[in-house]
């Protein structure tokens, strides 16, 4: 039965219904889905340009495959909004990224159509291959499809997946969503290769015509086209990116226009017909497709805050306080003017980490490695081994990827790499895959490394200078979002390792707060003074490693109540370090001690302040914990 054109989306509650639509209806639906995405993202923020770019691809996938059996894995998952909308979540889509609402990424717990949870990039081929083997071992026949972007394809794990897939020869479909963009324009030899070869228009034109002719032959046309594509391989491979994938023993199909639904369906069907091994379908899309501001500026619209849909203008902010990231970017530039050894490195996040300023000023000392965190760490180690001072700016959550490299390549050799760990702590709406709550725990136990946590933007500059002047590895962690609004106090200075600061004098209760929890602790101390009748002390360790042992010893001797606060996991984090020290130094003498931090659960998405409130990490939570400590006998 034909649905009315207007309001098609309203009637779509499962992907099976998409498969019933004709071409005109699918095209119409694409427009509705796009509008729904723009409306909601303008109000909630989110990954706009990536999702707009794959609306037609999503429709074609859902129309071609049966998601109740076939498995579909979106790489990163930041482009899966159309998928969410069309797999029964259209009505809830307005809750995207809000606390208690839909996640910004596919999650197995959220929908039976989310076949694999994602957030970090370049996992799709590996996961899909595992699923393909599971299918074959179980004697089943369904398709497994991974959709990966050209940016995500720069990562080692993607190539590890291709490599094993070619070796195993299982039936598997990889869809390469090539828009020539990562967040910024894609980098690396691979991306040059993809676009260089694609510019040979005449090759594509000729192929297209031959294939069109073959396909027009009744009944056997599709199969003939497939054989022809394979047969013409040795010729074609010189001109198309197919050569690369053929080397991995994939059948290469494409490139195909990723906004042409009938063409996409034809090519997907062709990919599905490949019986004897993995196939790669090369799809060309435009990031931000269908929304002019995003098409014009896909980097800015990759991930956005609130904006006015009519104009694409961000909703103006009522503050002039800079973000920690911005202060970091400016400070790194300032320091690099004086110290020619400083090289800035980012793994595909120049804008996100504020190193784009550095790229402009010192292009020869700036490196974007692509989405290659492990490689970036070892690459930095190589520079450091030759006397340079690499500053590796990376989000805490993505540094997890480089753990072994931090241990083996940097710390074991005591190389002076500075890890600028941005988005440390709770990041808010990106949720469980993106919170940077593990870095203290996974860095502090590595010999040789030093760890700094600036409490505000002024301290960030001093920490950065101190880290870049260390003779060994040093990490500084700072949060997502606005600074505290303090003035930057003159030129950056060198801090003494293992020396913290008493930021508020007091008695009886000492609040020991790390990094961005210092200022909320100061607020809490203010409130507590009235409630308790005395003024608590607030101590900022500045150095989470080496710990300020002398000052901690003094605190442990002179205060009967200790409240330790951090925005990181309690298991193995900063408060664990303090307790280990107090225990080993024989300083535990029955003081009442309480720890505030992130418990042993994955924290969901929500606004940063909501999540902090939930975990008792805002000033009111600190007050409550302190009062409880006061009540204990």
Ligand X SMILES: Cc1ncc(C[n+]2csc(CCOP(=O)(O)OP(=O)(O)O)c2C)c(N)n1
> Does residue number 150 form part of the binding site for ligand X (CB under 6 A)?
yes
Specify the stretch interacting with ligand X by CB under 6 A; choose among 143-151, 274-282, 613-621, 622-630: 143-151
For ligand X, the closer of residues 215 and 282 by Cβ is 282
Smallest distance, Å, CB 205 to ligand X? 26
Tokens standing for residue 546: 């080496």
Q: Which residues pair with 500 in a beta bridge?
A: none
Q: Which residues pair with 510 in a beta bridge?
A: 537, 562
- Is residue 373 annotated as a catalytic residue, yes or no? yes
Specify the stretch interacting with ligand X by CB under 6 A; choose among 73-81, 216-224, 462-470, 499-507: 73-81
Q: Give the SS3 label for residue 320.
A: coil
Strands (E), 285-384: 342-346, 366-368
For ligand X, the closer of residues 374 and 521 by Cβ is 374
For ligand X, the closer of residues 70 and 430 by Cβ is 430
For ligand X, the closer of residues 151 and 425 by Cβ is 151
Smallest distance, Å, CB 410 to ligand X? 18
Residue of 259, 401, 545, 605 that binds ligand X (CB under 6 A): 401
Angle between helices 55-64 and 23-44 (to 10 degrees): 130
Smallest distance, Å, CB 220 to ligand X? 36
State the Cα–Cα distance between residues 191 and 298, nearest whole angstrom.
Answer: 17
- How far CA 459 is from CA of 355, 465, 499, 538, in Å, comes to 19, 10, 13, 16
Specify the stretch interacting with ligand X by CB under 6 A; choose among 178-186, 491-499, 504-512, 625-633: 178-186
Tokens standing for residue 620: 């009111």
- Is residue 204 annotated as a catalytic residue, yes or no? no
Q: Which of 132, 150, 139 is nearest to 191 (CA)?
A: 150
Tokens standing for residue 497: 């390792």
Other CB atoms within a 10 A radius of the CB of residue 38 amount to 20
Confirm if 77 and 152 have CB atoms less than 8 A apart.
no
State the Cα–Cα distance between residues 282 and 384, nearest whole angstrom.
Answer: 39
Q: Which of 605, 611, 544, 539 is nearest to 573 (CA)?
A: 544
> Does residue number 50 form part of the binding site for ligand X (CB under 6 A)?
yes
For ligand X, the closer of residues 189 and 585 by Cβ is 189
Confirm if 191 and 308 have CB atoms less than 8 A apart.
no
For ligand X, the closer of residues 349 and 367 by Cβ is 349
CA angle, corner 478, sides to 472 and 482, nearest 5? Answer: 150
Q: Give the SS3 label for residue 31.
A: helix
Q: Give the SS3 label for residue 43.
A: helix
Q: Which of 451, 414, 474 is nearest to 545 (CA)?
A: 451
CA 150 to chain centre: 16
- The residue assigned the tokens 């609402």 is 101
State the Cα–Cα distance between residues 336 and 48, nearest whole angstrom.
Answer: 34
Residue of 398, 419, 438, 574 that binds ligand X (CB under 6 A): 398
> Does residue number 179 form part of the binding site for ligand X (CB under 6 A)?
yes
Smallest distance, Å, CB 53 to ligand X? 6
For ligand X, the closer of residues 194 and 336 by Cβ is 194
Specify the stretch interacting with ligand X by CB under 6 A; choose among 86-94, 181-189, 338-346, 491-499: 181-189
Residue in 71, 401, 561, 618 annotated catalytic: 401
Report 10-29 residues binding ligand X (CB under 6 A).
Answer: none
Class of residue 232 by CB neighbours under 10 A (exposed 0-12, middle 13-18, buried 19+) = middle
Residue in 71, 207, 287, 612 annotated catalytic: 287
Specify the stretch interacting with ligand X by CB under 6 A; choose among 71-79, 158-166, 334-342, 415-423: 71-79
Residue of 28, 34, 71, 78 that binds ligand X (CB under 6 A): 78
DSSP classification of residue 407: I
> Does residue number 418 form part of the binding site for ligand X (CB under 6 A)?
no
Residue of 46, 106, 151, 312 that binds ligand X (CB under 6 A): 151
- How far CA 406 is from CA of 177, 352, 380, 410, 451, in Å, comes to 32, 22, 10, 5, 13
Smallest distance, Å, CB 181 to ligand X? 4
Contacts of 234 (CB under 8 A, 6+ apart): none
Residue nearest to ligand X (CB): 149
Residue in 32, 56, 246, 373 annotated catalytic: 373
> Does residue number 371 form part of the binding site for ligand X (CB under 6 A)?
yes
For ligand X, the closer of residues 151 and 536 by Cβ is 151
- How far CA 381 is from CA of 7, 55, 264, 412, in Å, comes to 56, 41, 44, 11
Residue of 42, 44, 64, 79 that binds ligand X (CB under 6 A): 79
Q: Which of 529, 585, 527 is nearest to 554 (CA)?
A: 585
> Does residue number 392 form part of the binding site for ligand X (CB under 6 A)?
no
Number of chain residues interacting with ligand X (CB under 6 A): 23
Smallest distance, Å, CB 192 to ligand X? 15
Smallest distance, Å, CB 144 to ligand X? 19
Specify the stretch interacting with ligand X by CB under 6 A; choose among 90-98, 175-183, 449-457, 478-486: 175-183
For ligand X, the closer of residues 434 and 504 by Cβ is 434
Q: Strand 278-284's sheet: what is its strand order?
A: 71-74, 144-149, 172-178, 278-284, 251-257
Specify the stretch interacting with ligand X by CB under 6 A; choose among 75-83, 439-447, 527-535, 623-631: 75-83
Smallest distance, Å, CB 401 to ligand X? 5
For ligand X, the closer of residues 48 and 452 by Cβ is 48
- Is residue 545 annotated as a catalytic residue, yes or no? no
For ligand X, the closer of residues 121 and 608 by Cβ is 121
Strands (E), 105-210: 144-149, 172-178
Smallest distance, Å, CB 371 to ligand X? 5
Confirm if 564 and 592 have CB atoms less than 8 A apart.
no
**Window 249-288: contact mask with ligand X (x via CB under 6 A):** --------------------------------------x-
Class of residue 604 by CB neighbours under 10 A (exposed 0-12, middle 13-18, buried 19+) = middle
Residue of 58, 87, 152, 346 that binds ligand X (CB under 6 A): 152
Other CB atoms within a 10 A radius of the CB of residue 472 amount to 16
| The dihedral sign for the CA sequence 321, 323, 328, 333 | negative
Residue of 83, 84, 107, 120 that binds ligand X (CB under 6 A): 120
> Does residue number 135 form part of the binding site for ligand X (CB under 6 A)?
no
Specify the stretch interacting with ligand X by CB under 6 A; choose among 100-108, 149-157, 319-327, 582-590: 149-157
Q: Which residues are catalytic?
A: 287, 373, 401
- What is the contact surface with ligand X in residues (CB under 6 A)? 50, 53, 76, 78-79, 120-121, 149-152, 177, 179, 181-183, 287, 348-349, 371, 373, 398, 401
């Amino acid at each position: 039965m034909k649905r009315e054109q207007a309001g098609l989306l309203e009637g779509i509650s499962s992907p099976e219904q998409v498969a019933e639509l004709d071409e005109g209806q699918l095209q119409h639906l694409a427009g509705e889905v796009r509008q729904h995405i723009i409306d909601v993202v303008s109000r909630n923020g989110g990954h706009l340009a990536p999702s707009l770019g794959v609306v037609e691809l999503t429709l074609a996938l859902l129309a071609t495959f049966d998601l109740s059996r076939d498995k579909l894995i979106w790489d990163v998952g930041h482009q899966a909004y159309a998928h969410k909308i069309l797999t029964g979540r259209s009505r809830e889509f307005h809750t995207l990224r809000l606390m208690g609402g839909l996640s910004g990424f596919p999650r197995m717990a959220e929908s039976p159509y989310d076949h694999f949870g994602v957030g970090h990039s370049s996992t799709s081929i590996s996961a899909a291959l595992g699923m393909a083997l599971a299918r074959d071992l179980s004697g089943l026949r369904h398709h497994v499809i991974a959709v990966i972007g050209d940016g995500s394809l720069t990562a080692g794990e993607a190539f590890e997946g291709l490599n094993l897939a070619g070796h195993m020869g299982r039936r598997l479909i990889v869809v390469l969503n090539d828009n020539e963009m990562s967040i910024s324009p894609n980098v690396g030899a691979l991306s040059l290769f993809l676009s260089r070869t694609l510019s040979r228009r005449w090759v594509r034109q000729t192929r297209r015509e031959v294939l069109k002719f073959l396909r027009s032959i009744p009944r056997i046309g599709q199969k003939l086209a497939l054989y022809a594509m394979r047969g013409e391989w040795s010729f074609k491979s010189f001109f198309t990116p197919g050569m690369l994938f053929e080397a991995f023993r994939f059948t290469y199909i494409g490139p195909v226009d990723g906004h042409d639904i009938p063409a996409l369906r034809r090519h997907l069907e062709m990919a599905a017909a490949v019986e004897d091994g993995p196939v790669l379908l090369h799809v060309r899309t435009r990031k931000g497709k269908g929304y002019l501001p995003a098409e014009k500026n896909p980097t800015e619209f990759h991930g956005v805050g609130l904006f006015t849909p009519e104009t694409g203008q961000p909703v103006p902010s009522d503050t002039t306080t800079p973000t920690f990231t911005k202060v970091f970017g400016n400070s790194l530039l300032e320091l690099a003017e004086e110290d020619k050894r400083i090289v800035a490195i980012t793994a595909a996040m120049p804008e996100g980490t504020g190193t784009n300023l550095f790229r402009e000023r010192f292009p020869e000392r700036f490196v974007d490695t692509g989405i290659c965190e492990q490689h970036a760490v070892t690459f930095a180690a190589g520079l450091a081994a030759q006397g340079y001072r690499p500053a590796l700016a990376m989000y805490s959550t993505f540094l997890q990827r480089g753990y072994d490299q931090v241990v083996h390549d940097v710390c074991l050799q005591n190389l002076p790499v500075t890890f600028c760990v941005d988005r440390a702590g709770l990041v808010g709406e990106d949720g469980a895959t993106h919170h940077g709550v593990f870095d203290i725990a996974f860095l502090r136990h590595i010999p040789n490394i030093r760890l700094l946590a600036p409490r505000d933007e002024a301290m960030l500059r001093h920490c950065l200078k101190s880290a870049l002047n260390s003779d060994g590895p040093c990490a500084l962690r700072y949060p997502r979002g606005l600074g505290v609004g303090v003035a930057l106090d003159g030129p950056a200075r060198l801090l003494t390792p293992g020396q913290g600061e008493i930021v508020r004098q007091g008695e009886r209760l000492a609040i020991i707060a790390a990094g961005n929890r210092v200022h909320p602790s100061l607020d809490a101390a203010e409130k507590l003074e009235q409630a308790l009748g005395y003024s608590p002390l607030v101590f900022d360790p500045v150095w989470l490693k080496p710990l300020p042992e002398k000052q901690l010893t003094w605190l442990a001797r002179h205060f009967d109540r200790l409240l330790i606060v951090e925005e990181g996991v309690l298991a193995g984090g900063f408060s664990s370090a303090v307790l280990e020290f107090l225990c080993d130094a024989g300083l535990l003498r029955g003081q009442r001690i309480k720890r505030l931090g992130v418990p042993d659960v994955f924290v969901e998405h929500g606004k940063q302040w909501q999540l902090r409130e939930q975990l008792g990490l805002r000033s009111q939570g600190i007050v409550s914990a302190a009062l409880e400590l006061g009540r204990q006998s």
